[in-house]
Amino acid sequence: MKKEPIVVRVMLVGLGNVGTGFLRILARRHERLAARYGLVFRVTAAADSSGLAVDADGFDPAALVALKAAGRGIDTLPAFRPHVSAAEALGQAPCDLVVEAAPLNLENGEPGLSVVRAALANGIHAVLADKGPLVLAYGELSDAARRSGAALAFSATVCGPLPVINCGRRDFVAAEITRFRGVLNATTNFILASLEQGKPYREALREAQDAGAAEADPRLDVEGWDTAAKLVIVANSVLRTPASLQDVAVRGITDLGPGDLAQHRRRGKTVKLLAVAEKQGRTYRLSVAPAALPADDFLAACNGWEMGVTFDSDLYGPMYFKTWEREPGPTAAAVLRDAVNVCLPG
Amino acid sequence: MKKEPIVVRVMLVGLGNVGTGFLRILARRHERLAARYGLVFRVTAAADSSGLAVDADGFDPAALVALKAAGRGIDTLPAFRPHVSAAEALGQAPCDLVVEAAPLNLENGEPGLSVVRAALANGIHAVLADKGPLVLAYGELSDAARRSGAALAFSATVCGPLPVINCGRRDFVAAEITRFRGVLNATTNFILASLEQGKPYREALREAQDAGAAEADPRLDVEGWDTAAKLVIVANSVLRTPASLQDVAVRGITDLGPGDLAQHRRRGKTVKLLAVAEKQGRTYRLSVAPAALPADDFLAACNGWEMGVTFDSDLYGPMYFKTWEREPGPTAAAVLRDAVNVCLPG
């Protein structure tokens, strides 16, 4: 006997590249999700910067994608609810899962932080593509999740589809991770490759932005803060070390020119914006800075749109992971992965 | 308030490199396992090729390691139970988890298959380092686990510590994996590297055996059957495709000489024993054979004692994983990882 699929009522906050990518996959994979996982995702609330709309029967994901592609906002829908925040809406309509994919805000984590906080307090699972709330309030949010029994998942926040967080949390059982290193920002990595080929900085940045992979504010990428944010998430969730951005020594790539890279190239080295967590005593030294890596370093071969990490530990031997991502589809898939994994029965 | 740790009563079947490695970690990490995971593993039954011993209070893991290091067998212990098989013992003494690390037997899966079958039928979790039962009876065992609610975990069987199985099963949600490739056997990979350096085959094989990484019967490594066994496990558990060894086109490295490798080397290519699962229509074409890979192929840079895999999928973009393992400690850690993950409360 075939069991009836479980309906998961989703509030989607943020309809940018990742949010609409998530909707695209829901539209295309609806039947597979029901057949393989027994889950039907119904987007019953959706919010963008223009506001929030609620439909208990569920929005058509493809229609929401079309709305955004046409340059329109949620506030043009009949189901628009003026003067209702996402956090308030959680108390007014049933919801099983919040998917939070709002733009990165490292100042105060909003608008994501409030809705994630409200969800977890009420036992509603939260899946984040947005790093802000995790960087600013990881301890508070994970405590809230533990107390209410809700899941807090965020595998899309570090290297998109690459399961850095999942492997880090699940696959190094009983070990101490002695060193974590990562090329965590594909935009910067692409720009560095272009600089190495002799392209001017502005041209390299524009190409990265045209591909839609750069953060809305490119300073977050090139000044190293996006990388630092990911390192803070790894420190808190994988390395079990409470850390904030203030604990990371951050230097970006903005003072590098084609000349610097050519010089290292002649010595057989490649410059990467490297995140490092190095165990020192009972804690970790955290840093983000350009590093000239020898050719046989795994991360030196992390090219262009690739992102990669290495883990050293006292039980498992060295591990190396990398992926390639030019557009945010795979990151959106990582959001769906978390959504399925937290909602799976059993 | 600190919760009391949960006691997990373990039957350990197989006291070779991996089994004793598991005991070594239990001895060293006892306190961390209790503090971090709330779990105390108590080995209440242990079996090797000489027989089975049972102690309801739990054996001292370090004493069992010392016993094997002294070249003695379980049959020299006072707790030895002659004429009792591991499967029979499961019905006689309480047990929460079977760790099955018996030598690989691709003919009939014994002695592992019987005890894993008995465990799962009785709702007892099974963690396998032994590929045999999975290669020969994956469908039966996973059905039995589903019916009884017991867990069946085996992340140590493919690339030891590298979470190939875990990532494959958990991190490609809703996707089709279109191609899987792997360098899955470190022994063969080490031998190929030695041949490439001009060493004779016999010397290369002996070095690999001295390191303790080769299977007891080295033909399983060099004729490709160990690699094929791992590919069959990936096919069944990750690719959701029922497959057996008969479905894999297998060619080993025994007919390769230093001359062949040098010839490819001059063309900038490296020979690897490559496992491939390639999606074709609704199924996968499975093969194991030496392949000459170009230098920029991720798996060409999988050197010596390294093992690695690549995944291509229709949602997540390409993923590349590798690790390095010269002695079985990391594989033993992977057994512990599974044991903890299946026993974790909640």
| Rounded mean pLDDT, A219-233 | 95
Residue among B170, B175, B301 whose CB faces A166 most closely: B170
Contact A322 B324 (CB under 8 A): no
* Closest residue to B174, CB basis, from A33, A170, A175: A33
Q: What would the DSSP string read from start to end of B123-136?
A: T-EEEES-SHHHHH
Chain B residue whose CA is closest to A172: B337
For residue A216, pLDDT beyond 80: no
**pLDDT tens string A256-310:** 877 888 899 999 999 999 999 999 999 999 999 999 999 999 999 999 899 999 9
**C-alpha dist (Å) from residue B226 to A213, B161, B223, B307:** 41, 16, 8, 13
Give the nearest chain B residue to A312 (CA atoms): B323
For residue A36, list chain B residues with Cβ-Cβ distance below 8 A.
174
pLDDT digits (tens, 9 = 90+) for A19-36: 999 999 999 999 999 999
Q: In this complex, how many residue pairs, one in chain A and one in chain B, have their CB atoms less than 8 Å apart?
A: 122
Contact A163 B171 (CB under 8 A): yes
Is residue B262 within 8 angstroms of chain A, CB to CB? no
Give the closest of A161, A167, A315 to B163, CB-based: A167
For residue B2, pLDDT over 70 is answered with no
Strand boundaries in chain B, DSSP class E: 6-13, 39-48, 51-54, 97-100, 125-128, 152-153, 177-183, 248-250, 269-280, 283-294, 306-313, 319-324
Q: Give me Rg for the CA atoms of chain A.
A: 20
Give the Cα separation of B182 and B167 in Å (integer). 14
Is residue B229's pLDDT more than 70? Answer: yes
Instruction: Kindly tell me if the per-residue pLDDT of B259 is higher than 90.
Output: no
Q: Does B38 touch chain A (CB under 8 A)?
A: no
Q: Is B301 on the interface with A (CB under 8 A)?
A: yes
Q: How far is A75 from chain B (nearest CA, A)?
A: 31
Query: What's the average model confidence in pLDDT over B227-243?
Result: 98
Average pLDDT over residues A225-246: 97
| Per-residue pLDDT at B346 exceeds 70 | no
The answer to whether residue A121 scores a pLDDT higher than 50 is yes
At residue B177, does pLDDT exceed 50? Answer: yes
**Could you count the other beta carbons within 10 Å of the beta carbon of residue A304?**
13
**Cα–Cα distance between A225 and A163 in angstroms, integer?**
21
Quote the minimal CA–CA distance from B212 to chain A in Å: 16
Residue type, B222: V
Ramachandran quadrant class, A71 (left: phi over 0; alpha: psi -120 to 50; beta: rest)? left
Third-level CATH fold of B6-161+329-343: Rossmann fold (3.40.50)
Give buried/exposed letters for A231-266 (b at 16+ CB in 10 A, else e): bbbbbbbbbebebbbebbebebbeebebebbeebee
Judged by a CB distance cut-off of 8 A, whether residue A201 touches chain B is: no
Tens of pLDDT, residue by residue over A129-168, are 999 999 999 999 999 999 999 999 999 999 999 999 999 9
DSSP characters over B231-287: HHHHHHHTS-----GGGEEE--STT--HHHHHHHHHTTEEEEEEEEEEEETTEEEEE
CA distance A292 to chain B (A): 20
Going from N- to C-terminal start, the domains of chain B cover: 6-161+329-343, 164-324
The whole-angstrom distance between B2's CA and the closest CA on chain A is 15
The active-site residue, picked from B131, B230, B272, B322, is B230
pLDDT-above-90 percentage for chain A: 84
Residue that is written with structure tokens 């390409």 in the block: B318
Residue A25 touches partner B, C-beta closer than 8 Å: yes
Q: What is the CATH number of domain B164-324?
A: 3.30.360.10
The CA–CA distances, whole Å, from A1 to A4, A38, A240, B133 equal 9, 13, 44, 28
- How close B327 gets to chain A, by Cα (Å)? 10
Cβ-nearest to A319 among B175, B301, B323: B323
A1: pLDDT strictly greater than 50: no
Q: Is residue B230 annotated as part of the catalytic site, yes or no?
A: yes
Instruction: Evaluate if residue B182 carries a pLDDT over 80.
Output: yes
Task: Kindly state whether A321 is in contact with chain B, defined as any CB-CB distance less than 8 angstroms.
Answer: yes
d(CA A14, CA A335): 13
Distance from CA of B304 to the nearest CA of A (A): 14
* Res A200: pLDDT: 85
Average pLDDT, chain A: 94
Q: Taking CB atoms and an 8 Å cutoff, what residues of chain B touch A21?
A: none
Q: Which of B160, B174, B321 sits opposite A340 (nearest CB)?
A: B174
Mean pLDDT of the region B174-189: 96
Mean pLDDT of B25-35: 96
Spatial CB neighbours of A315, under 8 Å, sequence gap ≥ 6? A172, A174, A175, A176, B25, B161, B329, B330, B333, B336
Q: Long-range contacts of range B76-85, CB-CB < 8 Å, 24 or more positions apart?
A: B76/B50, B77/B53, B79/B53, B79/B54, B79/B55, B80/B51, B80/B52, B80/B53, B81/B51, B81/B52, B81/B53, B81/B54, B82/B51, B84/B51, B84/B52, B84/B54, B85/B52, B85/B111, B85/B114, B85/B115
pLDDT at A2 over 80: no
Average pLDDT over residues B316-340: 95
Query: Which residues in chain A have Cβ-Cβ distances shorter than 8 Å to B324?
Result: 317-318
Task: Judge whether A324 is closer than 8 Å to chain B, CB to CB.
Answer: yes
User: Any CB–CB contact under 8 A between B70 and chain A?
Assistant: no
Confidence of residue A218 (pLDDT cuts 50, 70, 90): confident
Rounded to the nearest 5°, which phi and psi values hold at A162? -70, 125
Q: Which residues lie below 8 Å from residue A39, measured CB to CB, with a gap of 6+?
A: A5, A6, A8, A33, A340, A343, A344
Mean pLDDT over the full length of chain B: 94
Average pLDDT over residues B243-265: 91
Looking at this predicted complex, what is its ipTM? 0.95
Is the predicted pLDDT of residue B337 greater than 80, yes or no? yes
pLDDT at B197 over 90: no
Which of B316, B341, B344 would best serve as a mutation to test chain A binding (most A beta carbons within 10 A)? B316
Two tokens, residue B100: 């099955």
Interchain CB distance below 8 Å, A174 and B321: no
Q: Does B320 contact chain A (CB < 8 Å)? A: yes
Cross-chain residue pair A321–B319, CB shorter than 8 Å:
yes
Residue A48 DSSP code? E
Residues A228-241: what's their mean pLDDT? 98
pLDDT at A325 (0 to 100)? 87
- Interface mutation target, options A170, A238, A309, A331, chain B, most CBs of B under 10 Å: A170
Task: Label residue B223 left, alpha or beta by phi (over 0 means left) and psi (-120 to 50 means alpha).
Answer: alpha
Per residue in B106-163, pLDDT tens? 999 999 999 999 999 999 999 999 999 999 999 999 999 999 999 999 999 999 999 9
